[in-house]
Chain A
Amino acid sequence: MTGWLLTSLALQNLGRRKARSFLLIAAVAIGSGVVFTGAALMRSIDDSMAVGFTRLGADMMVVPDGTLTNITAALLTVEPTDLVLDADVLARARLASVGRSAPQKIVRVEHSGIGSHHDLVDLIGIDPARDFTVQPWLKEKLNRAFRHGDVILGAGRDAPLDSQLLIFGKPHVVYGKLGRTGVGTHERGVFMSFETFDALAAAMPLHGGARPAVLAPGKVTGFLVELAPGATALQARFAILSAIKGVKVVTGDSSLSGIRQGLAALLQGILALMVLMFASMAVMVSVLFSAIVTERRGELGLLKAIGARRAQMIGMMVIEAVIATGVGGALGVTLGVLVMRLYERSLVYYLENIGVPFVWLDLPRTVAVAAAAIVLAAAIGALGSFYPAWRASGRDAYDLVRGEG
């Protein structure tokens, strides 16, 4: 019962200096908004980087030497290119350090009948028996084996399972859909077996230019490679480069380590900033509440004189602070969510450009981060107000009433 009484006293106190309360709430909102947004993005980027290599399953990629590998391509999806390799080039080399290898054919086409007229679509041929980077991502699929005429759609494409998909006028069946990976080619790709790919290649209209080399049977755009157990990336790279001419090997470490290290440093910097932000918020709340306590010492003394216990006096002040900072925290999180929604597109685009495939934090963990930010903000209010309230409440009531202490 006194809990409710103290809360209503605290609320009334907050209402006394509306401008001050508002500024306090605004300051906490900005702080916790930044911290929430920062934390959510950090977790997302962290996840995305984890997706980049390990979850896609390949350790390295073997592509023709001239292939432009931008960083996105280095995230182990083969990018469309005019250069090709023989499909059996790796198998012939018989390298001990190379484990599984999955060849892929990729062609980027226009006017395919998928999406709107000018949409560029990546058609990707895989060998279902050897593939280990695409099928593990199947989120839903038909209850039968993958066969000729079937296609698998990336998460970015929308078509119901088992529906018919016309590609260059030829009917295909949507066999399955991939889960979100954040990797562009994977998200927007239309995957099919080499058989289906070759059949489609024959039907593809030529628009003046030469026929892309990859459409020829027996040619592939590149290989996704897994290291043999115990082999190091360096051994495999050396073995591949010395056995096969005209290829380059893109490994996770060499191409991404720089970015990863940079990002890790950046994330640590953000983390440090967030900690500092919270610390300065705590100091600010503490300074503000010692001033508020000083301003109200007469009233606190009066409360004490009429029999308020020390815990009740502290409780009243702490509740006031917790309400203000808690509301500030909630407001900050709301703002953070709005800002992220607002900049989602450009942010994802930007990050993918610098080579980070972006996967947003899932809902439960976003909620957890939001709750943590709000709880932290409220905790700062509690901590910042506790000490001044504790000190004041320990004084003699008469000293407080007389305006000392």
Chain B
Amino acid sequence: MLVCRQASKSYATERGVVSAVTAIDLDVPAGRFAAIIGRSGSGKSTLMAMIGGLSRPSGGTVEVDGTDVWRLSENARAAFRNEKIGYVFQFASLLPTLRLIDNVALPAMLGRRRPVPEIHTRAAGLLERLGLGAYFDAYPSEISAGEQRRVAIARALINDPALLLADEPTSDLDEQTEIEIMDELLAVNREVGTTLVLVTHNLALADQAEQIVHIANGAIVA
């Protein structure tokens, strides 16, 4: 499902070249729940961004569902992200001008593969499921950080992705909310069979994963 070969990323800065990720080999079979752990600054987000088609690797390959993500054309990669990948960011990531329901529906609207009423029904269903049934018409500024994160998860799921990438989706939330949100992600993984790659600082959470990837200084440690 997910195959990284010698994936690496370095940034050119004023202090010289900074290597964020160096030569990572990673295999995650379809349907699996994998957790990525590591200290702050170890390169977890950078790796996730390369996997998710958001940040071009300096070297190596990333294959998702049999497709070499970074060899696709720009438009094909956009379509690929849209169809195959659901991404939950480390921070709030909703469009402030859109109602929650429209935020959730947006990836499906951009993909234009399904009729609009169907998209809206589905978006409403996802919001309902994540406990936000009362907030369809609310704007992101009107709900809490935890609720915003749930909306982001609903948005990541709208196109039925094959791969769900969640980069510390609960880092700034209280414990109870964290548990609830993790339960939702795990439920998707189990019920729908969506491959889940999760970055977390919470070791208890990581323990539930079928595969733990420990990263330090941009490389996988045993």
Which A residues have a C-beta under 8 Å from some C-beta of B? 1-2, 5, 9, 12-13, 15-16, 298-299, 301-312, 396-399, 401
Question: CB of B111 within 8 A of chain A?
Answer: yes
The 3 closest A-B pairs by CB, nearest first: A307-B82, A398-B55, A12-B97
**Contact (Cβ within 8 A) B97 A310:** no
Output the least CB separation between A309 and chain B (Å).
4
* Mask: chain B, 86-101; 1 = CB below 8 Å from A; 0 = not: 0101000101111000
**Contact (Cβ within 8 A) A307 B55:** no
Output the least CB separation between A16 and chain B (Å).
6
Chain A interface secondary structure, helix, strand, loop or mixed? helix
Chain B interface secondary structure, helix, strand, loop or mixed? helix
Q: Which of B46, B56, B82, B116 contacts A306 (CB 8 A)?
A: B82
Question: CB of B74 within 8 A of chain A?
Answer: yes
Q: Given A305-B81, A310-B74, A401-B89, verify A5-B97 contact (CB < 8 Å).
A: no
22 contacts between A and B (CB under 8 A): A1-B116, A2-B109, A2-B110, A9-B95, A16-B97, A301-B54, A302-B89, A303-B95, A303-B110, A305-B52, A308-B82, A309-B74, A309-B79, A310-B75, A310-B78, A396-B49, A396-B54, A396-B55, A397-B49, A397-B55, A398-B54, A401-B54
**Contact (Cβ within 8 A) A309 B54:** no
Beyond the given pairs A306-B82, A311-B75, A401-B89, 15 more chain A to chain B contacts, judged by CB atoms under 8 angstroms and listed by A's residue number, are A15-B97, A302-B89, A302-B93, A305-B52, A305-B81, A305-B89, A306-B81, A306-B106, A306-B107, A306-B155, A307-B78, A307-B79, A309-B75, A310-B75, A397-B55
Residue of B52, B53, B54, B83 ringed by the most chain A CB atoms within 10 A = B54
Closest B residue to A14 using CB positions: B97
Query: Which residues on A sit within 8 Å (CB–CB) of B98?
Result: 9, 12
Output the least CB separation between B81 and chain A (Å).
5
**Contact (Cβ within 8 A) B111 A307:** yes
**Contact (Cβ within 8 A) A306 B55:** no
**Contact (Cβ within 8 A) B110 A307:** yes
- Docked Cα-Cα span, A16 to B107, in Å, equals 22
Q: Which of A1, A299, A306, A310 contacts B87 (CB 8 A)?
A: A306
